């Protein structure tokens, strides 16, 4: 076990794309598995609650912050072979997606432009866009089980991927350390064309000028039919609704934006309002996609 030191009272706001939330009592950035194991061992000895995160692009931190240890996964590494890539859980998803294209492979163009997200965070929530899911290309996922302190390798089947869900979301003890992806060779011009098309779409439909955490709600699925949550929120008359300095985006109703200095409690109030109104209006329960900590 390595000797490690936790930072104290670290503002978590700076580590999230939402720019909302209070401090972590203890904070540690793990650069490899050994550091991760040592940090978790120390937290166990100190009887601290632990929260693990990656890029902070899908998080709502409470205004009170988190009283235990927050571990940021910064495990790097990216290796390409003929038809595969092995990537660290802390690698930026967008950078990896760019590298996939540069190495002549296709299938990750959809992930370019998602800010700050890590490969581990994307696997946890089965990130997706434009009809592609990260699970499409997964062969193996290496995890650290913080209950047993053992490393395990999950086959794609064992990952139990469904819409915005995985075995890692269901069992929070499992921390994604690295991922093996299967890759297919692509045509350079087509890859470039796809990237440009998807980036244009993001720019046109997402409120990228304000801090946010991406889609707030999972698009509800019934009998294989997916309804965009943004459509339901708009139908409930909530597009543009403000509470404090948080607002349901005028551009895309499944985004809540921080107009500057928004509080987590304001974001939460908008989440609850959207859930209530959509339930009344469309008889559908909206489930949050963004992960809430410290509430
Ligand atoms: C502008 C914008 C656009 C976005 N567009 C998309 C999009 O097109 N498609 C999409 O799917 N999402 C999108 N998102 C949401 C977000 O980027 C994804 O959900 C992303 O996969 C989250 O990764 P992260 O590393 O930031 O996770 P975090 O926000 O750090 O954490 C999210 C959850 O993942 C868990 N987690 C993180 N790392 C690990 C790990 N190594 N092991 C186990 N659990 C872990 C955390 O505990 C937490 O519960 C967007 C967000 C923004 C701000």
Taking CA atoms only, the protein residue closest to ligand 1 atom 14 is 214
The confidence score (pLDDT) of residue 130 equals 95
Residue 210 within any structural domain of the chain = no
Clarify whether residues 253 and 170 are in a common domain: no
Q: Is the CB of 207 under 6 A from ligand 1?
A: no
Residue 67 within any structural domain of the chain = yes
Give tens-digit pLDDT for 80-127: 999 999 999 999 999 999 999 999 999 999 999 999 999 999 999 999
How many domains does one find in the chain?
Answer: 3
Q: 280-286 long-range contacts, Cβ below 8 Å, gap at least 24?
A: 280/236, 281/232, 281/235, 281/236, 282/232, 282/235, 282/236, 284/220, 284/227, 284/232, 285/220, 286/217, 286/218, 286/220, 286/229, 286/232, 286/233
Clarify whether residues 43 and 98 are in a common domain: no
The confidence score (pLDDT) of residue 222 equals 83
pLDDT classification of 170: cutoffs 50, 70, 90: very high
Clarify whether residues 147 and 175 are in a common domain: yes
Task: Report CA(116)–ligand 1 centroid distance (Å).
Answer: 8
Taking CA atoms only, the protein residue closest to ligand 1 atom 21 is 122
Q: Is the CB of 58 under 6 A from ligand 1?
A: yes
Here the CATH number for the domain that contains residue 48 is 3.30.43.10
Here the CATH number for the domain that contains residue 253 is 3.90.78.10
Q: Who wins on pLDDT, 225 or 53?
A: 53
Q: Is the CB of 248 under 6 A from ligand 1?
A: no
Q: Give the position of tokens 């019934």.
A: 222
Average pLDDT of the residues in 135-158: 98
Clarify whether residues 67 and 83 are in a common domain: no
Residue 207 within any structural domain of the chain = no
Q: Is the CB of 168 under 6 A from ligand 1?
A: yes
Clarify whether residues 237 and 143 are in a common domain: no
Q: What domain range is 17 assigned to?
A: 7-73
The confidence score (pLDDT) of residue 224 equals 81
Clarify whether residues 183 and 109 are in a common domain: yes
Decide: 156 and 62 in contact? Cβ < 8 Å.
no
Q: Which residues pair with 87 in a beta bridge?
A: 78, 179
Task: Report CA(132)–ligand 1 centroid distance (Å).
Answer: 15
* Whole-angstrom distance, CA of residue 84 vs CA of residue 181: 5
Q: Is the CB of 87 under 6 A from ligand 1?
A: no
Q: Is the CB of 247 under 6 A from ligand 1?
A: no
The confidence score (pLDDT) of residue 1 equals 64
Question: Does the pLDDT at position 9 exceed 90?
Answer: yes
Residue 213 within any structural domain of the chain = no
Which candidate, 88, 66, 92, 61, places its Cα nearest to that of 77?
88
Task: Report CA(53)–ligand 1 centroid distance (Å).
Answer: 9
Residue 201 within any structural domain of the chain = no
Task: Report CA(166)–ligand 1 centroid distance (Å).
Answer: 13
pLDDT classification of 2: cutoffs 50, 70, 90: low
Which candidate, 111, 115, 120, 113, places its Cα nearest to that of 71?
120
Residue 209 within any structural domain of the chain = no
Question: Is the pTM for the entire model greater than 0.85?
Answer: yes
Residue 54 within any structural domain of the chain = yes
Average pLDDT of the residues in 122-136: 97
Give tens-digit pLDDT for 175-202: 999 999 999 999 999 999 999 999 999 9
pLDDT-above-70 percentage for the chain: 99
Clarify whether residues 90 and 21 are in a common domain: no
The confidence score (pLDDT) of residue 79 equals 98
Q: Is the CB of 55 under 6 A from ligand 1?
A: yes
Decide: 96 and 110 in contact? Cβ < 8 Å.
no
- State the average pLDDT for the chain: 96
Clarify whether residues 108 and 131 are in a common domain: yes
Here the CATH number for the domain that contains residue 98 is 3.30.465.10
CA atoms within 13 A on the CB side of 33: 16
Pick the atom of ligand 1 nearest to 111's CA.
8
Kindly state the tokens that stand for 14. 């700076």
Average pLDDT of the residues in 12-26: 96
Clarify whether residues 179 and 104 are in a common domain: yes
Clarify whether residues 186 and 259 are in a common domain: no
Give tens-digit pLDDT for 202-243: 999 999 999 999 999 999 988 888 899 999 999 999 999 999
Decide: 117 and 94 in contact? Cβ < 8 Å.
yes
The confidence score (pLDDT) of residue 215 equals 96
Clarify whether residues 177 and 84 are in a common domain: yes
Clarify whether residues 85 and 183 are in a common domain: yes
Q: Give first-to-last CA distance, the chain, whole Å.
A: 32
Domain boundary among 145, 173, 191: 191
Helices 93-102 & 188-205, crossing angle to 10 degrees?
150
Q: Is the CB of 88 under 6 A from ligand 1?
A: no
Q: Is the CB of 176 under 6 A from ligand 1?
A: yes
Domain boundary among 49, 73, 97: 73
Residue 196 within any structural domain of the chain = no
């Amino acid at each position: 076990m390595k000797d490690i030191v936790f930072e104290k009272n670290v503002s978590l706001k700076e580590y999230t794309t939402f720019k909302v939330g209070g401090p972590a009592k203890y904070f540690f950035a793990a650069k490899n598995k050994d550091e991760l194991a040592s940090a978790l061992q120390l937290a166990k000895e100190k009887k601290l609650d632990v929260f693990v995160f990656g890029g902070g692009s899908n998080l709502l931190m409470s205004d009170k912050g988190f009283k235990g240890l927050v571990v940021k996964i910064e495990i790097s590494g990216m290796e390409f072979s003929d038809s595969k890539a092995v990537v660290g859980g802390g690698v930026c998803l967008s950078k990896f997606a760019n590298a996939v294209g540069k190495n002549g492979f296709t299938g990750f163009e959809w992930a370019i432009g998602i800010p700050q997200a890590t490969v581990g965070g994307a696997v946890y929530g089965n990130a997706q866009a434009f009809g592609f899911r990260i699970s499409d290309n997964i062969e193996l996922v290496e995890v650290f089980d913080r209950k047993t302190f053992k490393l395990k390798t999950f086959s794609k089947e064992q990952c139990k991927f469904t819409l915005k869900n995985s075995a890692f979301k269901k069992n929070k003890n499992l921390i994604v350390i690295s991922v093996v992806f299967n890759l297919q060779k692509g045509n350079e011009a087509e890859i470039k064309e796809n990237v440009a098309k998807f980036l244009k779409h993001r720019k046109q439909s997402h409120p990228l000028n304000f801090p946010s955490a991406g889609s707030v709600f999972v698009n509800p699925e019934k009998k294989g039919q997916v309804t965009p949550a943004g459509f339901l929120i708009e139908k409930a008359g909530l597009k543009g609704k403000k509470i404090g300095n948080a607002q349901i985006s005028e551009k895309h109703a499944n985004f809540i934006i921080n107009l500057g200095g928004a509080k987590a409690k304001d974001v939460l109030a908008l989440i609850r309002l959207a859930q209530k109104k959509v339930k009344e209006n469309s008889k559908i329960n909206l489930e949050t996609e963004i992960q809430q900590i410290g509430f």
